[in-house]
Amino acid sequence: MTFFRILFFACLVILTTKVSAQQKEGNIVEYFGKEKVNDVSEGEVIHLFKEGLILKTTGVSFSNASVEYDPVFADFLNNASNSGISEGKEVYDSFQEKSVKWEKLAIVENGEFNDPFLRRNGYLYLEYTSEEEKTVLFEASGHTKVLINGLPHEGDHYDFGWNLIPITLKKGKNTFLLSGGRFPRIRARLLETFKPVEFTTRDLTLPDLVAEGSESLWGAIRIINTEDEFFKNASIEVKLNGNSEVIKIPAVAPKYVRKVPFLIPNPKDLKEGESVTATLYLKAKNNSIIDTASISLDVKSVYKHHKNTFLSDIDHSVQYYSVAPSLTKNKENQALFLSVHGASVEAVNQANAYKQKDWGYVVAPTNRRPFGFAWEDWGRLDALEVLKHASDLYKTDAQHTYLTGHSMGGHGTWYLGATYPDKFAAIAPAAGYPDLLEYRHSFTRNMDDEMAQRRFGMSLADFEQKLNPILGNGKQEQMDAIIRRAGNTSRTLKLKENYLHYGVYILHGDSDNVVPTFLAQDMRERLGKYHNDFAYYEYPGGEHWFGDESVDWPPIFYFFNRREIKKDHEINNINFTTASPGVSKGSHFVSILQQEKPFEISNFKFDRTENGFKIATANVKTLSIDLKAMGQEDLTEVFIDDQPITLESSDRLFISKVEDKWQIIDQPEASEKSPLRYGGFKDAFRNNMVLVYASKGSDEENKWYYNRAKFDAEKFWYRANGNIELVKDTNFELDDFEGKNIILYGNSSNNAAWKKLLKDSPIQVSNGKIEIEDENLKGSQYGTYFIYPNKDNAATSIGVVSATGIEGMHAAYANDYLENGTFFPDVMVFDETMSKEGLEGVKFSGFFGNDWSIENGEFVWNR
């Protein structure tokens, strides 16, 4: 079995049939009831791309590089108007260390380009000659991303057939460069729309209607705006069985497809098991009907398997989770079992794998998509939102909350359990891997020279060097280390002491070759050295999926039923570890508010004593202790790192290390780093963010920055089922977006919002120059990503995607910060070589101090 095939099968985790994952072929989405969209209802197909050029580059789907790069895209961006791509043109393939040529490729009978090299590594180049300038929809599937006339857009990695991109064709030649996705096929078409603004029913998010309920429920649908102006002041009316709901919808930016919320009435006279049809009306500000759509909704009983929807605080999008309700009806303070699914699995299928219990609710969040974020980053936040929503809705018992999951969800169980240890009474990872990056490399650990030659055409030593590139000098090693440090929040095994909070049950098939059994055996060995409450079971003959018992394993629930979270006043010992207070700040009544070295591992050990308590810390700057929740009257003997502390009467203690001495302080200033706003750069994308793009530059700059913002919005929709607002800088008023994070695209020369938001920033970017306090980088080749606090709001941040000129803009084209498993400190400054060579192009990176200053931060220069 090839390396790629192993990774492919890693996605096949819960099947809707009884056929094992190892026997499946074809499109993953077909296995789980999400058929690829082939029919077109949004317009007329005016062109099917039938011929193109393929570049058969090779490699693996991951490496150990701290900075991703794509020399093929980089070269194309810098020469988009005259790409020079033609049949026979040579491109150097660094993995094979030889040149490869662009070759002709034609579609096959089903209208798709098909070639093994299109899986993950290859590129497809297409051209279209238009007789006039006009707006169309570019519809493609199976690709990771695409450059259309030199502007980046999101792809359709998983071949869902969802992607529709409004574009303006130039008169004459138009170019399309697509990178390969998860399958060896790509389809590309151009559509002429029926209407300038319309619905598309591709990728709906819908609830189940409830036979016993009458409250309106959230749904979401995408609106296509092909016009050059914002579509705003509109509404969606939904009619169902004589009932209706009307809701105003957010503005849809020019040539943008936005997924927006709407409300669905839930009539009282519905019957369980039936399907009903609702009609949606898209209405302009004058109440005229622009478009209509019909949606089918299933009616379920609230006492049987069903799915709920809710509005997310991350981006005001509609998300869903699925439930296997308790058999004990209408009783509060029951248990909650949070079950996180594997890659490619819908949450509804995850919940359906469980029989209903008589003592609690099985709740399955989505990870925001069937693939999503491996339960890290926004997948992590989705799990927390669902946990809160479900526990509030069903009024479950916080002391009896449990965590389990399969495959990627097994990883999610290890990861979420280590990150939020005080939220669960026990965890049960099934067929899981603890660390995502380690899992990616697990298949190469036992590789020998023969296997490396057969799979990759090189020796094992050469292959390992490809995965672990040699750094050129000491500065690069320092830069590599500080960038990687931002990924410590994903290094689950560095947090393994947190498993001491609860019992652990490990379930794994003894014949699993998707997530190798030795990963579970390794965790058994690790836990055996320090943990006194874990169980381990290898299912005899069990492959990766061996039926519903792969998740609904009775001994797991027997294990759960005998464990509960202690109340705060009952807890005598806590051993807690984190890599960032912004991700996970503490346990029970003790919280780490600030670190001495950001994103290095921090730890505290709390021990209650007869007359007080003692705490030992590592890499902790500021602590908060909720003395009231701790529930101990006698606190006459308190020690922090063996230093005695005299407590004043207080419900909450704030204590900070000043010159290696602990001092009681007032609550830290809201302007400082805190768990609400800690960095790194990814943190800017988690608080109902709005994307503000430049419009005060040249035509080329304005076009680039608008499309660059739209690229991020497209990606967050596709990967995170997101709902992102785009705002022109001249229309931006801070008061209109109170409580939201702002992502700014542009610099002080071309974005009118810069001075409103960043006039006090120690990093200033303008055309031709980046100023970093007293240091200047001059030229048009520099780009940067950084995060900075919004000083008008204690909990919000400003993310910056900026450049000094066109070359720098192209260097900053990528948005892999919207993917899990990538590393981004507070600041990265780079030149145009980063997109071609990776780490060598990063010139400045690191973390601000706790006061958001460069002076008190930790940074590395590479010059």
pLDDT score at 83: 66
Judge contact between 692 and 744, C-beta under 8 A.
yes
Measured CA distances, 398 to 308, 336, 354, 390, 435 (Å): 20, 8, 21, 11, 27
Q: Which of 755, 762, 725 is nearest to 740 (CA)?
A: 725
Q: In the structure, what pLDDT confidence band is assigned to residue 346 with cuts at 50, 70 and 90?
A: very high
Measured CA distances, 414 to 417, 499, 772 (Å): 5, 9, 40
Give all strands of the β-sheet with 275-283 in edge-to-edge order.
209-210, 289-300, 275-283, 235-240, 243-248
Residue 22 has pLDDT above 90, yes or no: no
**Cα–Cα distance between 783 and 573 in angstroms, integer?**
47
| pTM of structure | 0.94
pLDDT score at 863: 83
CA neighbours within 13 Å on the CB side: how many for 37?
20
> Bigger pLDDT: 601 or 444?
601
pLDDT tens for residues 158-198?
Answer: 899 999 999 999 999 999 999 999 899 999 999 999 999 99
Give all strands of the β-sheet with 586-587 in edge-to-edge order.
586-587, 590-594, 622-626, 652-658, 661-664
Q: In the structure, what pLDDT confidence band is assigned to residue 827 with cuts at 50, 70 and 90?
A: very high
**Cα–Cα distance between 47 and 175 in angstroms, integer?**
14
Phi/psi at 513 (5° precision): -110, 10
Q: Which of 830, 642, 585, 701 is nearest to 66 (CA)?
A: 830
pLDDT score at 479: 96
Burial of 666 (0-12, 13-18, 19+ CB in 10 A): exposed
599 torsion bin: left (phi>0), alpha (psi -120 to 50), beta (else): left
Judge contact between 669 and 788, C-beta under 8 A.
no
pLDDT score at 82: 57
Mean pLDDT, rounded, of the chain: 92
**Cα–Cα distance between 623 and 605 in angstroms, integer?**
12
pLDDT tens for residues 829-852?
Answer: 999 999 999 999 999 999 999 999
Judge contact between 681 and 785, C-beta under 8 A.
yes
pLDDT-above-70 percentage for the chain: 95
Q: For 646, which DSSP code?
A: P
Strands 590-594 and 586-587: antiparallel
Residue 731 has pLDDT above 50, yes or no: yes
Residues contacting 163, CB < 8 A, separation 6+: 139, 140, 141, 154, 155, 156, 718
> Bigger pLDDT: 593 or 464?
593
pLDDT tens for residues 64-102?
Answer: 788 988 989 998 987 755 568 999 999 988 777 789 999
Exposure string over 44-72, b if 16+ CB within 10 A, otherwise e: eeeeebeebbbbbbbbbeebebbbbbbbb
pLDDT score at 61: 61
> Bigger pLDDT: 236 or 450?
236
3-state secondary structure of 124: strand
Mean pLDDT of 272-294: 97
Q: Which amino acid does the sequence have at 296?
A: S
Residue 400 has pLDDT above 90, yes or no: yes
Lowest-pLDDT choice from 401-405, 645-649, 668-672: 645-649
Mean pLDDT of 237-243: 96
**Cα–Cα distance between 576 and 423 in angstroms, integer?**
13
**Cα–Cα distance between 338 and 336 in angstroms, integer?**
6
Handedness of CA 677, 683, 688, 691 (dihedral sign): positive
- 180's tokens: 């390969």
pLDDT score at 788: 98
pLDDT score at 452: 79
Judge contact between 12 and 344, C-beta under 8 A.
yes
Mean pLDDT of 657-682: 95
pLDDT score at 12: 37
Q: Which amino acid does the sequence have at 338?
A: L
pLDDT score at 547: 94
pLDDT-above-90 percentage for the chain: 82
Q: For 735, which DSSP code?
A: G
pLDDT score at 34: 57
**Cα–Cα distance between 162 and 143 in angstroms, integer?**
12
> Bigger pLDDT: 219 or 38?
219
Residues contacting 700, CB < 8 A, separation 6+: 806
Q: In the structure, what pLDDT confidence band is assigned to residue 633 with cuts at 50, 70 and 90?
A: confident
- 629's tokens: 């929740």
Phi/psi at 388 (5° precision): -70, -45
Residue 472 has pLDDT above 90, yes or no: no
Mean pLDDT of 485-491: 96
3-state secondary structure of 127: strand
**Cα–Cα distance between 613 and 573 in angstroms, integer?**
10
- 709's tokens: 């913002």
> Bigger pLDDT: 234 or 458?
234
Residue 793 has pLDDT above 90, yes or no: no
According to the 3-state scheme, what is the secondary structure of 191-237? EEECCCEEEEEEEEECCCEECCCCCCEEEEEEEEECCCCCECCCEEE
Q: For 738, which DSSP code?
A: T
pLDDT score at 4: 31
Q: In the structure, what pLDDT confidence band is assigned to residue 399 with cuts at 50, 70 and 90?
A: very high
Helix spans in 444-590 (H): 449-456, 460-467, 474-485, 517-528, 554-561
Exposure string over 324-361, b if 16+ CB within 10 A, otherwise e: bbbeeeeeeebbbbbbbbbbbbbbbbbbbbbebbeebb
**Cα–Cα distance between 208 and 448 in angstroms, integer?**
51
Q: Which of 781, 783, 764 is nearest to 772 (CA)?
A: 764
pLDDT score at 462: 80
Judge contact between 356 and 326, C-beta under 8 A.
yes
Q: For 793, which DSSP code?
A: S
Judge contact between 686 and 722, C-beta under 8 A.
no
pLDDT score at 63: 66
Helix axis angle for 408-419 and 378-394, nearest 10°, is 80
3-state secondary structure of 809: helix
Bridge partners of 186, per DSSP, are 113
Exposure string over 677-690, b if 16+ CB within 10 A, otherwise e: bbbbbbbbbbbbbb
Helix spans in 346-487 (H): 347-352, 378-394, 408-419, 436-442, 449-456, 460-467, 474-485
Mean pLDDT of 323-343: 97
Q: Which of 265, 360, 369 is nearest to 716 (CA)?
A: 369
Give me the long-range contacts of 76-83 (CB less than 8 A, separation at least 24). 76/147, 76/150, 76/177, 77/147, 77/150, 77/810, 77/813, 77/835, 78/807, 78/810, 78/832, 80/147, 80/149, 80/150, 80/175, 81/150, 83/125, 83/175, 83/177
Strands 335-340 and 401-406: parallel
Residue 133 has pLDDT above 60, yes or no: yes
Give all strands of the β-sheet with 143-148 in edge-to-edge order.
90-93, 98-106, 51-55, 123-130, 172-180, 143-148, 151-154
